[in-house]
A and B are shown apart, each in its own frame.
Chain A
Amino acid sequence: MKSALPIATVVLAILAIWYVAAALMNASLQRDLFANSGQAHYSTQELIVGSLNMERPKLPAPHQVASELYKLVFATPPTSKRSLVYHGVITLEETLIGFAIGSALGIGLAVLIVSMRWLDRSMMPWIVASQTVPIIALAPMIVVILNQFNITGIAPKAAIAAYLSFFPVTVGMVKGFRSPDPLQLDLMRTYSATRAQTFLKLRAPAGAPFFFASMKIAAAAALVGAVVAEVTKSEDGGLGARLLAGSYYGQTVQIWAALFVAAALSAALVGLIGVIGRIAQRRMAFSS
C-alpha cells in the first residue's frame, strides 16, 4: 500500500498533462470555430474552456471521455447499438472463446512437445520463431477464409483471438514443463515413476507459475486479436468496430471511450488471472 501515494501522484500528473495537451492541441481548431462564428474577440479563458469542450476535438479532455463513457456504458440501454456495453460484450465473448480454445490447444501442444522428442526437435524452432512474426497480419485473411465457409459473426474473431493466444501459451508451457531441475527428474526416476506419473506429479505442478504467466499474456493477446479482427470485419459490432466507425466519422470522443473500455476489459482479465494465480500458488505453497 506504500505505493498508493506515488501511483496517485503519477495518475494526477498524467491527467494534468492530458488537460494541458488537450488545450494546446485543440486551441487552433477552437480559434477557427470562433472565427467562423464571427466572434472576433474572446478571452484566453474562453479559448481554453472552448478547447476543452469541443464536439470533435483533436484530443478530447479527460472529463469529456469520462462523460462519454458514462453516457455509453451506464446511461444507454445495453441493447442499443450505441451502447459500449453491447459492443464490449461482443468483444469479451470473442476474447473468452478464443482465449479458452487457444490456451487449451497451446497447453495440449506443449504436453506433446515435452513428451515427444521428435516433435520437440522439429516443431519447437518454428513455434519459437513464430514469436518474432507479426501473426496479426493474418487476421484479415482468416476472416475472409472463414467467410468462404459461411462462418461469420463472432466465430472468425474468436478464431483469431485463439490463434494469437496459442503461440505464447505453447512457448510458456513448454518452458514450464521443463522447469524441474535434473535432480528432481532423477528422483522421479529412482522412484521408477512412469512418464505419465512424472508429468502429473512433477512437471505439471512445476509448470503452474508459468501457466498463470502464460494465461495473462494469452488473455491480453486474445483481446488484441478480437479487436483487430473486428476492425477488419466491422459489420458485426464490437469495440474494434467502434474504433473504426469513430475514425471514419471523426468522432474522437467515441474512439477514446471505446479504447478505455477495451483497456478496462484487458486489465480486468489480466488482473483476475493474477488473483487466481496468487490464490492457487498460496494453496500449492510455492512461495516458500
Chain B
Amino acid sequence: MTSGRLANLLPPIAFGLAVLAIWEAGVRLFHVPAIILPPPSAIAMRLATSVPTLAADFNQTIRGVLAGYAIGSLAGFVIAVLIDRSQFLQRGLMPIGNLVSALPIVGIAPIMVMWFGFDWQSKAAVAAVMTFFPMLVNTVAGLEAPGAIERDLMRSYTASGPQTLEKLRLPAALPFIFNALKLNTTLALIGAIVAEFFGTPIVGMGFRISTEASRLDLDVVWAETLLAAITGSALFFGIAWLERRVTFWRPAFQSTTEKEMR
C-alpha cells in the first residue's frame, strides 16, 4: 500500500518540480522582469523573510474564514433539519437554495463591510452567507438519501420520526454533509479574501494581495497566494480526513476517493 501510494505521488511531484524548474530557468534565461513574473526562488526568499507579515495576515483572515464557515455551515444544517418535516417548505426553499448557490454571492461583500465594519466580522458574514446554501441543499438531499426498504424497516420497528432521523437518515446524510463541508472550505476562504478587497484594517491576505499587486510587489503577492493555497488545501484535507474517520462504514469510500484522485 505504502509503495503503491508513493508510486502515485511520484509523477505529480516530478511534474510540479519540472514546472518550477522551467519557470525558474525561463525567467532567468529570458530576463523576464520581476514585475511580470518573479522566479520561484525569489518567491521562496520572500516567503522566508516575511514570516511575521504573513503570520499576521493569516491570523486576521483565518478568523473570518473559520467563524463564517462554522456559522454558515451550522445554520444551513439546522435549517435543513428543521424544514425536513415540511414538504411544503422543502418544495419552496429547495429551488431557491439551488438558484442562490449559482449566484455571485461574493457581491454582498461591500454590504457586509458596511454593516459589520472593516474587521474580520464582515468577512465572516460573507463567508457565512456563501456557505449556508450549499450546506442547506446538500443536507436536505442527504436526508432523502435512504431508500424505501430502509425506511420501511424503521417503520416496522415503529421508530418515531426523531428516531428515524437519528438512526437512519442523519447517518445516511453524512456523505452529503461532508461534501458540503469540503466545498465550503474553499467558499469561505474565497468569501473572506474577496471581502478584504472592499476594506480591511490594513492586515489580511486579501488586503495584502490587492495592495501589493497595485504596488507591483509581485513576489509578495505570490507568497501570499501560496499561503492562501496552503490554507485552502489544509482545511479541505482536514475535513476529508475527518470524513474518513467519521464515515468509515461507507463501503465504497476507499475506492471512490482513489478514483477521484486518479
Q: Residues on A close to B: CB < 8 A?
A: 2-3, 5-11, 14, 58, 118, 120-126, 128-129, 131-134, 136-138, 140-141, 143-145, 148-149, 216, 220, 223-224, 227-228, 231-232, 239-240, 243-244, 246-247, 250, 252, 255-256, 258-259, 262-263, 266-267, 270
Contacts and interface: CB of A to CB of B under 8 A. Distances in A.
A243 B110 contact: yes
A7 B95 contact: yes
A195 B185 CA distance: 39
Contacts of B72: none
A211 B20 CA distance: 32
Contacts of A270: 102
A134 B189 contact: yes
Contacts of A3: 91-92, 95
13 contacts: A8-B92, A10-B89, A132-B186, A132-B237, A133-B233, A134-B190, A137-B209, A140-B210, A141-B209, A220-B103, A220-B104, A231-B194, A252-B111
Given A6-B89, A267-B103, A232 B232 contact: no
Nearest to B111: A255
Interface of B: 8, 11-12, 14-16, 35-37, 88-93, 95-96, 99, 102-104, 106-111, 113-115, 185-186, 189-190, 193-194, 197-199, 205-206, 209-210, 213-214, 216, 218, 221-222, 224-225, 228-229, 232-233, 235-237, 260-262
A53 to B, nearest CB: 19
Nearest to B199: A247
A3 B92 CA distance: 6
A123 B262 CA distance: 10
B197 A224 contact: no
B53 to A, nearest CB: 16
B16 to A, nearest CB: 7
B262 A140 contact: no
B240 to A, nearest CB: 9
B103 A244 contact: no
A144 B218 contact: yes
Contact of A122 (B15, B102, B218, B228): B15
Contacts of B237: 132
Contact of A267 (B102, B233, B261): B102
A255 B228 contact: no
Given A6-B92, A136-B193, A255-B110, A216 B236 contact: no
A259 B94 CA distance: 21
B114 A58 contact: yes
Contacts of B92: 3, 5-11
B161 to A, nearest CB: 21
Q: Is the interface of A mostly helix, strand, loop or mixed?
A: helix
Which of A132, A149, A243, A256 has the largest number of chain B CB atoms within 10 A? A132
Nearest to A243: B110
B229 A220 contact: no
Nearest to B227: A137
A245 to B, nearest CB: 10
A125 B96 CA distance: 34
B11 A137 contact: no
Contact of B91 (A6, A58, A121): A6
A248 B68 CA distance: 24
Contacts of A14: 96
A141 B221 contact: yes
A43 to B, nearest CB: 28
Given A122-B15, A138-B225, A6 B186 contact: no
Contact of A128 (B37, B216, B261): B261
A220 B187 CA distance: 13
A133 B229 contact: yes
A143 B198 contact: no
B233 A247 contact: no
Contact of A256 (B93, B106, B111): B111
Contact of A123 (B15, B89, B99): B15
Contacts of A140: 197, 209-210, 213-214, 221
Contacts of A247: 110-111, 113-114, 198-199
B194 A136 contact: yes
Which of B36, B103, B199 has the largest number of chain A CB atoms within 10 A? B103
A171 to B, nearest CB: 9
A132 B193 contact: no
A227 to B, nearest CB: 5
A145 B36 contact: yes
Contacts of A121: 8, 11-12
A6 B106 contact: no
A149 to B, nearest CB: 8
Contacts of B228: 133-134, 137
Which of B199, B214, B237 has the largest number of chain A CB atoms within 10 A? B214
